[in-house]
């Protein structure tokens, strides 16, 4: 046997080919498939970039986007951390909600017409563990499901099916995804290999510009370490393109100092402007686990959380300004998320505990300004168990970005998600109609806040209640959510041939008394209806 034959026989296919995994319809292409040969660049041609900003720790969404329309309930639930009503930053076009006073930068982006606030983003059966919830957000799994790869990894695996075999190449000379941080995260883990690269390892870019590398002693061990690091730098497949991209940009606008998120976003802007074809960047900013002393008691607009929000806001504003300065603003959107929000009711330590759904920000010149969804329903006398119920599933945000921003066909997008969720994905109105990749831009959606879309009778109810809802036709979903934010029933999930008014009975027998939410989802529309179960 010739050595080369032997090697070819010895290398397992699994290291070279993406695999079909746990029920996902991720397409696997053989290395010699004509499709792969033809498509060494991404399958979809786009120069769009997504910057994912992780707010680690569980950000208190209620103090970031403050419900003005239900301010008294908000204040009653959390008087020791509540932001005074007269300090809330107003947002153009709406009086219902406003921003934390530290977020003048985000207010500016919003009022300039470049930011979407999506209310109460979560998922059924929320998990309150930092680690597990982070894994869910990164993998886009259901909360009762273990998935070992990330939503962006699956997307990039679709676009660049054989990675890393054959990469980099002339069509895609750059990393597929870049994480600023010491490790590639679950978000970009593909079915077999991680599709992203990090640029802070001891030998790579980030440390060259802003960090340190452990020193090399003047010994034989030091000599060999130096040698290996040298090879590492030379052979780090992407080090040259990254360094060249960074070096190609000599001038950027001003970023705030002493702000690690700003430091990271500054590198991102530089690399995008420098010409990398990388589609996804991830940055992370921690410290949001504000169980105690979230605010200064003397002035609740200041304190730890305020500092964090200000840094986020200042960093995003500086980034947006820099994109403008570098004239790449139309290619880039940013998205913030946190693994969960916090409880409606504050605790006695002047803080808030782990909660469920929370708002997300999307910003960029192609993002349509506005607030999607309603202010969360806040009970008059919120109890310690009350949570913000989900209005939007976070996977609908992801899938909308994949569809509208990265120009993927809906059926492809659906294939990147667990089968039992893909039918529930919503295509949300996040973008301006001027984005270019879809030939047919869907008409702007009807105002989602329409009373009477979903009602129930009787309310309060003792054992069961009849839910009446209107559908415009197409996929229609009615879910029952408890105050912990968990979807406890799915009463309706079907496609209606035409617009209709229909009803379904919610049988709450055996359930504890208290508030339940009926959630209607139909196309881009969603509506949450509070219902109260009382004793007979």
Partner 1 sequence: MDRRDFLTRGKKDKAPAPQPIATRHITSGINPYAGPWTENEIVHLLKRTMFGAKKADVDYFKTRSVSQAVDELLNPTAPQPAPPVKEYVTSTQPGTPDGNIAQGTTWVNDINNDGTVQSQRVASYKKWWTGVLINQDRSIREKLNMFWINHFGNESQDVGYGNWAYKQHDLIRQNALGNFKQMVDAITKDISMLRYLNGYLSVASAPDENYGRELMELFTLGKGPGSQYTENDVKEAAKALTGWQINGTTYTSVFTSSRHSAVNKTFSAFFNNTVITGRTGATAGQLELTDLLNMIFATQETAKFICRKFYRYFVYYTIDSATETNVIEPLAAIFRNSNYNIRTVLTALFKSEHFFDVLNQNCYIKSPADHIIGSLREMNATFPPLTDWDTNYGMWNFFYANMVNTGQTLHDPPNVSGLPAYYQEPLYHEIWINSDSLPKRNQFTDIMVNSGYTRNGQRVIFNLVPYVQQFSNPGNPNDLIDDALKFIFRNQLSYETKKTIKTQILLSNQLYDYYWTNAWMAYIASPTTANFNIVNNRLKPLFQYFFNLSEYQLS
Q: Which residues bind partner 1 (CB under 8 A)?
A: 1, 3, 6-7, 10-12, 14-15, 54, 56-57, 129-132, 134-135, 146, 148, 164, 181-186, 189, 192-194, 200-203, 212, 214-215, 218-232, 234-235, 237, 284-287, 289
Nearer to partner 1, 132 or 494 (CB): 132
Pick from 103, 102, 92, 61: nearest CA to 78: 61
Phi/psi at 254 (5° precision) = -80, 140
Supply 28's token pair.
């696997």
What is the dihedral sign for C-alpha 150, 155, 161, 165? Answer: negative
415 in Cβ contact with 422 (< 8 Å) = yes
Residue 192 CB, nearest approach to partner 1 (Å): 6
Q: DSSP letters along 84-121, please?
A: PGGGSEEETTEEEEEE-TT-HHHHHHHHTT-EEEEEEE
Least Å distance, CB 341 to partner 1, is 16
Between 19 and 384, name the residue whose CB sits nearer to partner 1. Answer: 19
Taking each helix axis as running N to C, give the angle between helix 260-273 and helix 239-248, from 0 to 180 degrees, rounded to the nearest 10. 90
Provide the 8-state DSSP code for 82.
P
40 in Cβ contact with 168 (< 8 Å):
no
Task: Name the minimum Å distance from CB 531 to partner 1.
Answer: 31
Q: Which is nearer to partner 1, 139 or 465 (CB)?
A: 139
- If the CB atoms of residues 219 and 327 are measured against partner 1, the closer one turns out to be 219
Nearer to partner 1, 95 or 220 (CB): 220
Q: Cβ closer to partner 1: 18 or 122?
A: 18
Q: What is the 3-state secondary structure (H, E, C) of 339-404?
A: CCCECCCCCCCCCCCECCCEEEEEECCCECCEEECCCCCCCCCCCCCCCCCCCEEHHHHHHHHHHH
> Minimum CB separation from partner 1 for residue 46, in Å?
28
Q: Give the nearer residue to partner 1 in terms of CB position, either 220 or 443.
A: 220
At 445 the three-state DSSP class reads coil
Token readout for 49 is: 């970039």
Whichever of 185 and 422 has its CB closer to partner 1, that residue is 185
Instruction: Return the number of the residue (39 or 225) whose C-beta is nearest partner 1.
Output: 225
- Whose Cβ is closer to partner 1: residue 240's or residue 254's? 240
Cα–Cα nearest to 465, from 416, 415, 421, 516? 516
The C-alpha atoms of residue 484 and residue 507 are separated, in whole angstroms, by 19
Please report how close the Cβ of residue 193 comes to partner 1 at its closest, in angstroms: 7
Give min distance, CB of 53 to partner 1, in A. Answer: 12
DSSP-derived pairing of the beta strands 196-198 and 358-363? unpaired
User: Whole-angstrom Cα distance, residue 258 to residue 251?
Assistant: 20
Minimum CB separation from partner 1 for residue 27, in Å? 18
Measured distance CA(240)–CA(106) in Å, rounded:
35
**Residue 255 Cβ vs partner 1, minimum distance, rounded to whole Å:** 20
Give least dist CB 150 to partner 1, A.
Answer: 11
CB of 216 to partner 1, least distance (A): 9
């Amino acid at each position: 046997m010739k050595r080369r034959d032997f090697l070819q026989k010895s290398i397992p296919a699994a290291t070279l080919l993406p695999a079909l995994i746990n029920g996902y319809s991720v397409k696997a292409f053989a290395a010699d498939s004509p499709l792969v040969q033809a498509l060494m660049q991404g399958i979809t041609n786009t120069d769009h970039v997504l910057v994912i900003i992780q707010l680690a720790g569980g950000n208190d969404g209620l103090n970031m986007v403050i419900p003005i329309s239900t301010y008294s309930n908000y204040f009653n639930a959390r008087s020791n951390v509540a932001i005074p009503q007269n300090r809330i930053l107003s947002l153009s076009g709406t009086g219902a909600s406003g921003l934390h006073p530290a977020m003048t930068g985000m207010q500016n982006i919003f009022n300039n017409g470049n930011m979407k606030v999506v209310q109460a983003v979560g998922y059924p059966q929320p998990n309150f563990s930092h680690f597990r919830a982070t894994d869910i957000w990164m993998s886009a799994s259901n909360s009762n499901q273990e998935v070992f790869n990330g939503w962006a990894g699956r997307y990039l695996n679709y676009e660049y099916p054989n990675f890393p075999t054959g990469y980099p190449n002339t069509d895609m000379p750059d990393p597929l995804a870049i994480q600023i941080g010491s490790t590639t995260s679950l978000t970009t883990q593909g079915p077999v290999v991680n599709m992203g690269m990090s640029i802070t390892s001891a030998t790579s870019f980030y440390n060259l510009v802003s960090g340190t590398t452990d020193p090399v002693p003047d010994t034989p061990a030091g000599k060999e370490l130096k040698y290996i690091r040298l090879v590492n730098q030379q052979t780090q497949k992407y080090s040259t393109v990254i360094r060249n991209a960074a070096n190609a940009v000599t001038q950027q606008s001003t970023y705030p100092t002493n702000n690690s998120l700003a430091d990271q976003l500054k590198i991102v802007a530089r690399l995008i402007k420098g010409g990398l074809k990388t589609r996804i960047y991830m940055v992370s900013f921690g410290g949001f686990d504000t169980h105690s002393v979230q605010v200064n008691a003397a002035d609740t607009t200041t304190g730890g959380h305020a500092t964090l929000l200000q840094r986020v806001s200042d960093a995003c504003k500086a980034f947006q300004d820099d994109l403008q300065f570098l004239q790449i603003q139309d290619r880039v959107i940013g998205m913030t998320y946190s693994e969960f929000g916090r409880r409606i009711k504050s605790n006695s330590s002047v803080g808030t505990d782990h909660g469920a759904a929370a708002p997300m920000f999307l910003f960029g010149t192609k993002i349509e300004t506005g607030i999607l969804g309603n202010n969360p329903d806040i009970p008059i006398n919120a109890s310690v168990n009350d949570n913000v119920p989900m209005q939007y599933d976070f996977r609908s945000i992801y899938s909308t970005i994949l569809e509208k921003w990265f120009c993927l066909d809906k059926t492809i997008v659906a294939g990147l998600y667990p089968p039992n969720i893909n039918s529930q994905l919503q295509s949300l109105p996040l973008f301006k109609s001027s984005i270019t990749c879809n030939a047919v831009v869907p008409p702007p959606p009807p105002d989602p806040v329409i009373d009477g879309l979903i009602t129930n009778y009787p309310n309060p109810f003792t054992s069961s209640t009849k839910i009446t809802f209107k559908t415009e036709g197409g996929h229609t979903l009615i879910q029952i959510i408890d105050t912990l934010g968990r979807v406890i029933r799915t009463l309706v999930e079907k496609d209606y041939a035409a617009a209709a008014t229909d009803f379904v009975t919610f049988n709450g027998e055996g359930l504890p008394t208290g508030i339940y939410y009926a959630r209607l989802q139909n196309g881009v529309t969603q509506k949450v209806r509070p219902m109260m179960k009382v004793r007979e």
